[in-house]
Structure 1
Amino acid sequence: MRLFGYARVSTSQQSLDIQIRALKDAGVKANRIFTDKASGSSTDREGLDLLRMKVEEGDVILVKKLDRLGRDTADMIQLIKEFDAQGVAIRFMDDGISTDGEMGKMVVTILSAVAQAERQRILERTNEGRQEAKLKGIRFGRKRVVDRRKVLELYSEGMGATEISRQVSVARSTVYKILSEER
């Protein structure tokens, strides 16, 4: 039996360090830890694909948490079936569950369904909050850093968009956007 590890975060700004450290502490060799910095909503991930190719019958894959393997219940079930067909077990360290037996597979399926439902509720609450904030006049996105008055002033002096973009150090499309907003 060989131990493999899988760690995933959703964005490139997040760190895998905690998950990797936990996998190493559990006895997984560094060259057997596969990682992804991608959404768990799809199973098309480079690290996961490499892991699929490396494991063999009798191997065990350690994952820190259930939602690190995937978010979508159907995808999780498919992954579990795929690894099970290869004779590979998955153990979720923090959740204390494993796909070793039928009961473990059932528990993982139920928990992944709960995790997916929770993710959906979070998205709904986030969207409701955004809509409420917009109704209150709160603006989203980056703060404007372009000197709009300078753009308009240069344009009124007869300067073209290309030259204005060079002078103000913005894209020409930004100049056109400012001009169209003023009309």
Structure 2
Amino acid sequence: MKIGYARVSTGDQNPELQIDALEKAGCEKIYTDKISGAKTDRPNLKDALGYVRKGDCLVVWRLDRLGRSLKHLIEVVEGLEAQGTGFISLQEGFDTTSSGGKLVFQIFGALAEFERNLIRERTKAGLEAARARGRVGGRKAKLDSDQVGTLKAMHESRKHTIKEICSVFGISKPTFYRYLEAE
């Protein structure tokens, strides 16, 4: 069974073009979202993915209607493949039910993994270069050493509640406890 998924980004847009193409492709059931592709919570996509069964095929008009990014697209298609479900994109001609379509999609996956590894390597090299120049990562400390001393003195005096101390210094309780444990 072919299950269709159509998405438009705003309520002003009309999914009819996509729905017509999905019906022409033989989709028996079509799910539609009117929501930005950048949103992680797309209820009808979740429903469509929950509806497809082994031997079914999820069909979209174009790849960008399904995935927020290449990484997300690959995750969705790998999830479909793991449950024995095919994937077809009408405009790009992807069809993971054919060996050629699987090959093309695996090449996309390899390229995406290569890109992730490059980003990881560049980030690591940048952090190492910054450390070599004496830069330390992380946020700037909220309190200086004098303020930490005052914080500890206020706490030890037992004249102030933790909430009051946090309010004076503009910090949260977890930050308060980190300062107490430090040094």
TM-score in terms of structure 2 length: 0.58
Matched, 1:133 2:130: yes
What SS does structure 2 have at the residue aligned with 1:150?
Answer: helix
Matched, 1:27 2:18: yes
**Aligned position for 2:63:** 63
What SS does structure 1 have at the residue aligned with 2:88?
Answer: strand
Where structure 1 has 5 or more consecutive residues not aligned to the other structure, the ranges are 8-16, 39-44
Matched, 1:121 2:118: yes
Cα displacement string for residues 113-172 of structure 1 (whole angstroms, at most 9, x for unaligned residues): 222122122212212212222232223333333465334235446534725334323234
Asked if the contact 2:3/2:58 (under 8 Å) is kept, the reply is yes
**Aligned position for 1:144:** 141
Moved more, 105-114 or 145-154: 145-154
C-alpha separation in 2, matches of 1:152 and 1:144: 14
**Aligned position for 1:41:** none
Write out aligned runs for 1:1-183 (5 A).
3-5=4-6, 17=9, 24=15, 27-28=18-19, 32-33=32-33, 37=40, 49-55=46-52, 57=56, 60-61=59-60, 62-64=62-64, 66-70=70-74, 76-77=77-78, 79-80=80-81, 82-84=84-86, 89-91=87-89, 96-99=92-95, 101-146=98-143, 148-156=145-153, 159-160=157-158, 162=162, 163-181=164-182, 183=183
Asked if the contact 2:32/2:44 (under 8 Å) is kept, the reply is no
- CA change 1:132–1:46 in 2 (3 A) is farther
- How many residue pairs match? The answer is 157
Shift of 1:4: 0.8
Where structure 2 has 5 or more consecutive residues not aligned to the other structure, the ranges are 21-29
Asked if the contact 2:31/2:44 (under 8 Å) is kept, the reply is no
C-alpha separation in 2, matches of 1:111 and 1:168: 51
- CA change 1:22–1:128 in 2 (3 A) is farther
User: What RMSD, in angstroms, separates the aligned Cα atoms of the two structures?
Assistant: 4.4
TM-score in terms of structure 1 length: 0.58
- CA change 1:126–1:155 in 2 (3 A) is closer
What SS does structure 1 have at the residue aligned with 2:85?
Answer: helix
- CA change 1:105–1:172 in 2 (3 A) is closer
Asked if the contact 2:5/2:59 (under 8 Å) is kept, the reply is yes
- CA change 1:133–1:164 in 2 (3 A) is same
Point out the structure with max Rg over C-alpha: 2
- CA change 1:49–1:164 in 2 (3 A) is same
C-alpha separation in 2, matches of 1:122 and 1:23: 37
